[in-house]
Chains A and B, each alone.
Chain A
Amino acid sequence: MTASVDQVMVSVTDGSLPQVLDDLREAGLVVDTVLEALGVVTGTAEVRAIPALQAVPGVIDVERQWRVQLPPY
């Protein structure tokens, strides 16, 4: 059975991009998109790596991504 992988989103402090990306990658984040205007990085990580991401200097919050579904008409 493979390790559980999740889509995550990471908010970082103002001015910490792009330096924080190397540390996030080292902590286990596979970076999908860097949202510079928002100071947010999205990507995937093993669920067990989330505490390590949270511990990276410059990181404010790490959350799993939610899914959204419109109701049928």
Chain B
Amino acid sequence: MTEPAEVETTGRFLVLLQEDAVEEGLAELGAIAGFNPNTGAIGSDTLQVFPELGVAVVSGDPNLLGELNGAAEGPGAVQIVEPERVVHVFAAPVEEEPEAAADESVLTWGLQAVGADVSTATGKGIKIAVLDTGWENNHPDFAGRTITTKSFIAGEDVQDGHGHGTHCIGTSAGPRKPATLPGYGVAYEAEIFAGKVLSNAGSGSDGGILAGIDWAVANGCAIISMSLGADVPAGTPYSQIYETVAQRAMAKGTLIIAAAGNASTRPARIAPVGHPARCPSIIAVAAIDVNRAIASFSSGSADRIGQIDVCAPGVDVYSSFKLPEKYRRLRGTSMATPHVAGVAVLIAERTGARGFELWARLAGTALRLPLASTDIGTGLVQAP
């Protein structure tokens, strides 16, 4: 793995060990770097270990990197090796007032940007699954709505102890006329399926996510919105299993839409699309701001594997949140994804399209913007 020249490194290496096999990983490291992890090297200048994180920091000559990378690529408990970076305090950026801020007295800027305000589609009769941190059962804005819930996290019910899931459900399918304006939901009459695949701490794994997809497909959801993912190094192959799953889901009429990731630090660095959005049969969503500029964090088409398909509002997004806060403004491709999912619901309702036909209509009708296709795909999705 090579790092861009401008990244300052310390000469030490960060080694990610398999979470449940730290001891084995240290033994493997010791064999390569020439120390015995059992004889006091731990904690010395040679080796630092963070067992809770499953991370070790190793010092050694530059040739060590090649050997460690070899170990990371092979099977075993050493998973990822990176040069340790020098980090600095960020100079505080000049506070920029958003110019010509949108009028959000009635609807959020995001709903206006995707044209939900001028569409007569409502999402009625269409099922949408949001796979995330769950759902705030007691949110007053959703009284009377049909919401089917299921938790795929052991030991946690579907109640959203995090807030992220409630925010995403609000954007995709929340109300247009809540007691306190603005309205913030794209497909405000859609039937909501809230699957908890991320814990209250915001973490999950493929097993739970796949179980949530299976549940959504079995229930006939036309769209799955997944504001989740894992960042990967450029060039990482996409998951063959998720690709198979996405194709099978699409053949059964379920389109999967996923966040591209927030790993970029533009303009310096554009990070690749994360897992699982980098699968070709999953729609990868980028984020733009109120000025229709690409969001600084939005991951992009940084390799030939993970490609951005469309973009949507993902900065300063107002939506529902867990109680007692009730509402919050958040940023991220996580917030752009439910805008796209909501628009997909409206197109599904209006045209009857499902699966790849729905994908084609969604991407094909997106508003072209004067931005790189590598950043925003075909453009800003538009309600029918």
Interface residues of A (CB under 8 A from B): 1, 4-7, 9-11, 32-33, 35-40, 42, 47-48, 50, 60-61, 63, 65-73
Q: In the complex the two chains form, what is the Cα distance from A42 to B205 in whole Å? A: 11
Asked if B209 contacts A37 (CB within 8 A), the reply is no
Bound-state CA distance A8–B249 (Å) is 20
Cβ-based interface call for B382 (8 A): no
A54 to chain B, nearest CB (A): 11
Given A1-B23, A71-B332, verify A33-B207 contact (CB < 8 Å): yes
Asked if B115 CB lies within 8 Å of chain A CBs, one says: no
Instruction: List residues of chain A with CB within 8 A of the CB of B244.
Output: 11, 39-40, 60-61
| B164 contacts across to A, CB distance below 8 A | 70
Cβ < 8 Å to A, chain B residues 271-286: 275
- Range, interface on chain B: 35 or more
- Interface residues of B, Cβ cutoff 8 Å to A: 18-21, 23-24, 27, 75-77, 133, 162, 164, 198, 202-207, 209-211, 213-214, 217-218, 228-230, 239-241, 244-245, 248-249, 252, 262, 275, 330, 332, 334
Query: Which residues on A sit within 8 Å (CB–CB) of B275?
Result: 66
Across the interface, do B202 and A40 meet the contact criterion of CB distance under 8 Å? no
Other than A4-B77, A7-B205, give 6 A-B pairs with Cβ distance below 8 A. A1-B23, A7-B207, A38-B245, A40-B244, A66-B230, A68-B209
**4 residue pairs, one from A and one from B, having the closest CB atoms:** A70-B202, A65-B206, A35-B214, A42-B207
Contact of A9 among B198, B206, B230 (CB under 8 A): B206
Contact of B241 among A11, A47, A50, A73 (CB under 8 A): A11
Known contacts: A11-B244, A68-B209, A68-B229. The answer to whether A38 contacts B203 by CB under 8 A is no
A9 and B204 contact, CB distance less than 8 A:
no
The CA of A47 and the CA of B77, in the complex, are separated in Å by 9
Quick one: which of A7, A50, A65 has the most chain B CB within 10 A?
A65
The chain A residue sitting closest to B213, CB to CB, is: A38
Q: A1-B24, A60-B240 are in contact. Are A67 and B19 (CB under 8 A)?
A: yes
- On chain A, the residues within 8 Å of B229 by CB distance are 68
Q: A11-B245, A63-B241 in contact; A70/B217 too (CB < 8 A)? A: no
For A9, list chain B residues within 8 Å (CB).
206-207, 210, 241
Chain B residue with Cβ nearest A14 = B248
Chain A contacts for B332, CB-based, 8 A: 71
Residue contacts A-B, CB under 8 angstroms, 6 given: A33-B210, A35-B214, A47-B76, A63-B239, A63-B241, A70-B162
* Closest Cβ–Cβ distance, residue B216 to chain A (whole Å): 9
Q: Given A1-B24, A5-B20, are A68 and B245 neighbors across the interface (CB < 8 Å)?
A: no
- Considering only CB atoms, which chain A residue lies closest to B164 in the complex? A70
Contacts of B213 in A (CB 8 A): 35, 38
CB contact under 8 A between A67 and B248, given known A1-B24, A35-B214, A60-B240: no
Contact of B214 among A1, A6, A37 (CB under 8 A): A37
- Cross-chain contact of A67 among B133, B205, B210, B330 (Cβ < 8 A): B205
Whether A63 touches B202, Cβ cut-off 8 Å, given contacts A4-B21, A40-B210, A70-B133, is no
Could you say which residues of chain B place their CB within 8 Å of the CB of A69? 202-203, 230
Once A40-B241, A65-B206 are accepted as A-B contacts, the answer to whether A35 and B77 lie under 8 Å apart by CB is no
